[in-house]
Amino acid sequence: MQNEDRVFETFLRQYRGIFRVLINAAEQITSQYAVSFEQYLLLKQIHEQRNITLSELADSTRTTRSAAARKLRGLLLDGFVEQEAKLDDRRVKYLRLTDKGTDVEHDIRQAFLQSAQTWEQIPTSLTPADITSFFTQYQQSIAVWDRNRPKFQRPVLRAKKDELSGH
């Protein structure tokens, strides 16, 4: 059991360290344009899928509708994104990048591409292709694990369980 605890703690330490470095690097780039990394992901998705709705955007970025709306609100206020009502159903609003939003999305994309080129400078025997392959395989393994793992079910309180069974 001690060995499992040690492995688990090591995994958590490494995960937090890697995640912190990657998120900080991403935020450093996007903050120069007054957007968060999460907002950039919305800009990118809107750029790639013309006439996307908020619900579709939330689905494609794997977030809730309310979380996407909160992030989108700043993009709308800053003039990066505009909404246009559907002609036959005014309740449906299509999202589009403005010229300003298109420029920012492009500039951030270029900054990320430039940053990715520095991966070649990581002092290791791994090549950039090895690193990309590792992350791809890791992501695929996590996706398989997530589909197959037992889902957590909140325990039913003993008193509630007795009440439901008639005891």
Q: What local confidence, expressed as pLDDT, does residue 142 receive?
A: 72
CATH number of 2-124: 1.10.10.10
Domain locations along the chain: 2-124
Asked whether the predicted pLDDT for residue 151 surpasses 70, the reply is: no
Predicted confidence (pLDDT) per residue in 24-75, tens digit? 888 888 999 999 999 999 999 999 998 898 999 999 888 899 999 999 999 9
Instruction: Please tell me whether residue 56 adopts helix, strand or coil conformation.
Output: helix
The tokens for 39 are 């907002």
pLDDT, tens digit, 9 for 90 and up, residues 66-88: 999 999 999 999 999 999 887 88
Return the axis-axis angle of helices 99-117 and 2-31, rounded to nearest 10°.
Answer: 130
Instruction: Compare 16 and 148 and report the one with higher pLDDT.
Output: 16
pTM across the whole model:
0.67
